[in-house]
Chains A and B, each alone.
Chain A
Amino acid sequence: MLTPNNNIGEVTLIGTGGGYGESIVIHLGNQEWAVIDSCVNPNTKESLPLEYLKSINVDIANEVKLILISHWHDDHIKGISQLYNKAKNAELFISHVQDRSKFMAFVGFDYKKIDDDITAVSTYEFVKCIQILKERKPKIINKANADKRLWLTKITFSRLLIFTEIRKKN
């Protein structure tokens, strides 16, 4: 499989529900990619959006520009830290946080209950993403609020075809 052309938009839906989970992979144009949520291959435990992007030879480190975590039910967040770790130039977006201090406290409460070898806990995935973010610059958590543009890709055309219709006068 090959990557789509620069001026082709592509939306790929991954997952079947029922425990596998869901993820959306979007080609924004110009070989720029966005990924919303993640789920894992039940056999390999690899992030399925990551698996897909590899299969179509996407340069994940440079071309994945945006990763959005919509919420962290297990079936929407598992594997996202694997993907984020590979996507060195991706910006991290999370859905709106009503009260930041309470949110940070909640993450702290939940995370402190985790043993090191538990991988099923979704807070663990989120905290892994934060730990990855700390190694990058800038260290910004972006907000995916309603009615907000998250990304702009400019597509350039090399040719523009115009069709005209000539009507015969009676």
Chain B
Amino acid sequence: MDKIQKIETNLSGHWANDNELTRSHVSQKRNKIDLFIESLQDNIDTLKRNNEISPIEKQNLFNKLQIDHYESEFNIIAGRKYSTTIQKWIGYITEINDETFSAKLIDKTNKGTNEIVEFSKDELSPDDLPLFRMDAIFYWSIGYSVSNGQKRSESILKFKRSAVYEDKDLDKGLDVGNDIFEGIDWED
């Protein structure tokens, strides 16, 4: 098998871009996707052309749109990128300050005692800022990641996301909760 040639330039139209071995994996994948879409289109065109086909036959043909040409590459990915945790916690925010916030942490790895830990707000991801508030739940883990043979330690803080309830669901849930506990006393 020929060796993949190194691309010396990013100029468009360079002969290397046409080299079938260049970035062969990407081109293979694109070819498969294109073939799949083409096969679907062929079937759709056939349906459109053959209007005499009964609705049931048409539906049967449509149902046969299997992903035959598209071999799912949804197998386990090449192990070039993965990460492993050494310890995991689930936490919820108990205090918010100017530069920091405190949270109660439940150790999910060692099942030890709970801890109160202070974090810097610098650890918050931009996408998680809308979720940042008192009592918000987050996952925190420490471990390491491996990418293309290089290992580095990492600390990941990710806020829990759950489906957003509509107002009518909230009201109904509150009503049901009140009914369940009506007449029950709680020890002080």
Contact = CB atoms under 8 A, between A and B. Distances in A.
B186 A140 contact: yes
B180 A100 contact: no
B185 A140 contact: yes
A105 B174 CA distance: 5
A127 B180 contact: yes
B187 A104 contact: no
Contact of B185 (A102, A111, A139): A139
Contacts of B181: 104, 107, 130
Interface residues of B, number: 18
Interface in A98-154: 99-100, 102, 104-109, 111-112, 127, 130-131, 133-134, 138-143
Given A104-B177, A130-B181, A109 B165 contact: yes
Contacts of B177: 104-109, 111
Nearest to A131: B180
Given A112-B172, A112-B173, A107 B180 contact: yes
B122 interface: no
Contacts of A108: 172-180
Interface in B80-121: none
B169 interface: yes
B187 A141 contact: yes
Given A108-B173, A112-B172, A112-B173, A141 B185 contact: yes
A112 B174 CA distance: 10
Contact of A138 (B135, B175, B180, B185): B185
A143 B186 contact: yes
Contacts of B180: 104, 107-108, 111, 127, 130-131
Contacts of B126: none
Contacts of B183: 134, 139
B63 to A, nearest CB: 31
B184 interface: yes
Contacts of A112: 172-173, 176
B187 A143 contact: yes
B184 A141 contact: yes
Given A104-B177, A108-B172, A134-B184, 9 more contacts: A108-B175, A108-B176, A108-B180, A109-B176, A111-B177, A112-B176, A130-B181, A131-B180, A143-B186
19 contacts: A104-B178, A104-B181, A107-B177, A107-B181, A108-B173, A108-B174, A109-B177, A127-B180, A131-B180, A133-B184, A134-B183, A134-B184, A138-B185, A139-B185, A140-B185, A141-B184, A141-B185, A141-B187, A143-B187
